[in-house]
Structure 1
Amino acid sequence: MALSVGSKAPDFTLKSKGAEGLRDIALGANLGKKNTVLLFFPLAFTSVCTQEMCDVTAGLGSYEGLNAEVIAVSVDSPFAQEAWAKKENITITVASDLNKTTAKNYEVLLDDLIGLGSVSARAAFVIDKAGVIQYAEQTPTPKDLPNFEAIKAKLASLS
């Protein structure tokens, strides 16, 4: 089960690929500055993951208006993530947890998904500027989406 509210969020540095090339994405970059919405998803190029990331991209302004950066994480390579993001016009930051360390640290790594091996569960965390988890949700199945209204409500309650 996912890390709980009140826990210190494990720091991470992951790779993201975009037009500017490979870059590091680190939770620590937001500490003291803004809140972070960390979204784990199983795999790029799948229907539910595409729906989720397209919906979040469409509403990105509402997260920015709540002083939050959205970072989506999967076990896909940054090159596959970039191709998927381009194909689907996903503009949120998508970061690669290829070695699965971050999913393990957040306790959201599924042992096996339909015979494909271990991938991250679908999960959402709101991490405040101090690095403390203020909201944590792992969905019952990878087909279920997180409660984005609850995520936004939590962000609105943070200063």
Structure 2
Amino acid sequence: MPLVVGAKAPDFTLKTKTADGLKDVRLSDNFGKKQTVLLFFPLAYTGTCTQEMCDISNGLSGYTGLGAEVYGISVDSPFAQEAWAKSSKITVPLLSDLNKTVTKAYDVVFPNLAGVGDTSARAAFVIGRDGVIKYAEQTPTPKDLPNFNAVKAALAK
């Protein structure tokens, strides 16, 4: 079960790949400034994950307009994420949780996906400016997408 609404969001620092090289992204840097949407997804280059990140990229202004920073998080390396983002035109910042520390902290591990090993489950969290979880959802299967209307409603509150 993922962390629940009202819980303090576990802070983290993860790597993202930018044109300038690897960069650290720390969740708590947003505290007091903006809301944060965390979108955990199983693996780059897979159908549902590509659909989700492309749809979010195409509608990113709908989230930034609500004062939110959006991050996609997977257990892929930042280099694989960067190549996938380029080939699929994904503009959402992708964070690498290669060691699964954040996936475990948010309790969204999907065990042995397709027999290849543990990955992140598909999950969505909205974290308020105060660092408290305002919305939490883990989908029933990796093929199901989060309820993005509910995510936006939580951001709008």
Report 1:1-159 matches (<5 A): 1-157=1-157
Amino acid at match of 2:54: C
CA deviation after TM superposition for structure 1 residue 64, in Å: 0.5
Count of aligned residue pairs for this structure pair: 157
Partner SS state of residue 114, structure 1 = helix
| Alpha-carbon displacement from aligned partner over 1:93-151 (angstroms, at most 9, x marks no partner) | 10000000000000001121010100000000000001000000000000000000010
Distance (Å, rounded) in 1 between the aligned partners of 2:20 and 2:48: 28
Distance (Å, rounded) in 1 between the aligned partners of 2:29 and 2:46: 29
Distance (Å, rounded) in 1 between the aligned partners of 2:2 and 2:127: 13
The share of aligned pairs that are identical, in percent, is 66
| Alpha-carbon displacement from aligned partner over 1:69-96 (angstroms, at most 9, x marks no partner) | 0011000000000000000010111000
Partner SS state of residue 36, structure 2 = strand
Amino acid at match of 1:16: T
CA deviation after TM superposition for structure 1 residue 18, in Å: 1.7
Q: Which runs of 5+ in 2 are unaligned?
A: none
TM-score, scaled to structure 1? 0.98
Runs of 4 or more, structure 1, over 2 Å off, are: none
Q: What CA RMSD, in Å, does the superposition of the two structures yield over aligned residues? A: 0.5
Q: Which runs of 5+ in 1 are unaligned?
A: none
TM-score, scaled to structure 2? 0.99
Amino acid at match of 1:100: K
Distance (Å, rounded) in 1 between the aligned partners of 2:3 and 2:22: 29
Amino acid at match of 1:110: F
